[in-house]
């Protein structure tokens, strides 16, 4: 609710020659973060849909709940497949009382994860965050190593914001 007031106060503090650059930077940051969030939601939806279809095919109880859990937890990289595999495997074990069905559920989620990494994520990352795949992976590795679990959550958005800041700063430097 206070965002417009805060933005107006911030712009009033700036010298007039930097106002346009500051607004351009804010616009680029907004675009980068919005694209990242849309990409993450597309990936979560794809994982949830594939999980639901696979669990329906395997006739596991509660496919919608397990698929929703897998899709929502896939917002954190690699967690969706682990959560879906664990919960789906437990449900399948208690439903069928044998070890074959949990193994099929595990194979389903491994296949979904591999398909996600090979097909969905490169396409979505190319069109949403505009980061090179190596920078994407480096951001995840560095964020996880330095900040742990929280670093995994915020590594890619931070890399997107850093790229936007560097891009705006470079454009400003070249124009000066």
pLDDT tier at 19, thresholds 50, 70, 90:
confident
Give pLDDT tens digits for 109-156. Answer: 999 999 998 888 888 877 888 888 788 889 989 998 999 888 888 988
Tell the residue number behind the tokens 């296949």, with chain if given: 111
Q: Tokens in use for 82?
A: 């682990």
Across the chain, mean pLDDT equals: 89
Angle 98-71-92 from CA coordinates, rounded to 5°: 10
Q: How long, in residues, is the chain?
A: 176
Share of the chain above pLDDT 90, in %: 48
> Where does the chain have alpha helices with state H?
3-13, 19-58, 63-73, 79-96, 100-115, 121-128, 133-147, 149-175
Residue 97: pLDDT over 90: yes
pLDDT, position 4: 67
Backbone CA torsion sign across 126, 160, 116, 70: negative
pTM of the predicted model as reported, rounded to 2 decimal places: 0.80
For the segment 77-84, the average pLDDT, to the nearest whole number, is 84
Instruction: Pick the more confident residue, 143 or 18.
Output: 143
């Amino acid at each position: 609710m206070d965002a417009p007031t805060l933005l107006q106060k911030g712009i009033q503090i700036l010298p007039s020659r930097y106002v346009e650059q500051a607004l351009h930077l804010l616009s680029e940051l907004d675009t980068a973060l919005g694209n990242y969030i849309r990409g993450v939601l597309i990936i979560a939806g794809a994982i949830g849909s594939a999980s639901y279809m696979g669990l329906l095919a395997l006739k596991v109880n509660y496919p919608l709940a397990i698929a929703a859990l897998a899709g929502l937890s896939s917002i954190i990289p690699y967690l969706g497949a682990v959560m879906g595999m664990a919960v789906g495997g437990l449900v399948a074990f208690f439903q069928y009382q044998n070890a074959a069905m949990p193994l099929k559920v595990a194979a389903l989620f491994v296949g979904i994860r591999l398909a996600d990494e090979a097909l969905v994520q490169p396409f979505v990352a190319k069109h949403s965050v505009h980061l090179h795949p190596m920078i994407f992976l480096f951001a995840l590795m560095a964020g996880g190593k330095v900040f742990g679990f929280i670093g995994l959550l915020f590594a890619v958005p931070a890399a997107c914001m850093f790229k936007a800041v560097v891009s705006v700063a470079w454009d400003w430097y070249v124009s000066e």
